[in-house]
Amino acid sequence: MKAYNGIIGLAIGDTMGVPIEFIERQELQKAPVTEMLSYGTHNMPKGSWSDDTSMTLATIEAISKTGTINIKDIADNFIRWYRKAEFTSTGKVFDIGRTTIQALAKYELNIDKATMCGENTISSNGNGSLMRILPIAYYSYSKKLKDNEIMKIVSATSSITHRHEISIIGCYIYVKYAIEILKGNTILGAYRTIQQLDYSCYSSDNLSKYDRILKDDISNYSIDEIKSTGYIVDTLEAVIWVLLNTDTYNEVILKAINLGIDTDTIGACTGGLAGAYYGIDTIKEEWKKSLLRYDYIIDLCNKFDKAINKPSKGAKK
């Protein structure tokens, strides 16, 4: 297990989507993106990543300190990113979500502890915690955590910015999907596994929002039935739909970002799972060469791997 497979996969998906964020699908269908672009929507140079990758790297760095999950450390790193532009590709913070801003403001002002700062209204179920949750899958897999333990960590990590149960459920589904991939399961096999999980601890009303994923076969939906908005349910549906309807990492990314609208986050979330599955050796070389701070990400992931794979005190080697 090498974390850089998923994290580089995520970063490239994010980077590919940044220049075309908010562009409608109909426009992209007329002229699909096939290469990594520069500038565009956010006027950023080629290879720049957004908040998706920055917050993922901030999470990785926090876990790497002790090899354990400390929610305060993660939240502190989010503040370092937000206020000092650490964990960014160019020293500039851009494209930060409203819900995330509100949550970090509460944390920064010591209004509440980190796990209580996330917004908890029905309108606060954007994909801002889903986009950064992949490190939790690597940690949970490495530590061989049980499902109830994973649920607690996912809930706490998401709740820094997104505390509503719909967001937490989406993050849990994603993490469990990633864990299945890390176990060596196929894309389809991982999907079938998450459909069979026990979700009874979640409210039936909130869980029902994921019926198209968990009770139907999302792969059979047409592209017109797949939305690519910033709503976490739409994002997760798009991610799994793309994975089930592609055969290579490069195909995954192009199909994901050409869905339009929230291209960076859908690219990041899909790219993270695809990178973990296909590996970075399958990623187009030009994309890897163009990704800013590539070596920094690799080094950080290697430190992360070392930290989470270090035996606990008293554990048998």
Residue 66 within any structural domain of the chain: yes
pLDDT number for residue 29: 96
CA nearest to 228, candidates 260, 251, 252: 260
**CATH number reported for the structural domain that contains residue 32 in this entry:** 1.10.4080.10
Integer Cα distance of 189 and 24 in angstroms: 32
Handedness of CA 201, 206, 211, 213 (dihedral sign): negative
What beta strand segments (E) does 110-268 contain? none
pLDDT number for residue 311: 74
The four Cα atoms 24, 27, 30, 34 give a dihedral, to 10 degrees, of -60
Residue 317 within any structural domain of the chain: no
Integer Cα distance of 205 and 123 in angstroms: 15
Residue 316 within any structural domain of the chain: no
If one counts the domains in the chain, the total is 1
| Structural domain containing residue 164 | 3-308
Q: What is the mean pLDDT of each run of 10 residues along the chain (317 residues)?
A: 96 98 98 97 97 98 97 97 98 94 94 92 97 98 98 98 98 98 98 98 98 98 98 98 98 98 98 98 98 98 96 48
Residue 268 within any structural domain of the chain: yes
Q: How many residues does the chain have?
A: 317
pTM over 0.95: yes
**Are 6 and 138 a contacting pair, CB within 8 Å?**
yes
**Are 227 and 260 a contacting pair, CB within 8 Å?**
no
DSSP character at residue 281: G
Residue 74 within any structural domain of the chain: yes
Residue 176 within any structural domain of the chain: yes
pLDDT number for residue 312: 58
Residue 95 within any structural domain of the chain: yes
CA nearest to 128, candidates 147, 146, 102, 89: 102
Residue 112 within any structural domain of the chain: yes
By CB atoms closer than 10 A (0-12, 13-18, 19+), residue 115 is middle
Residue 44's DSSP bridge partners are 39
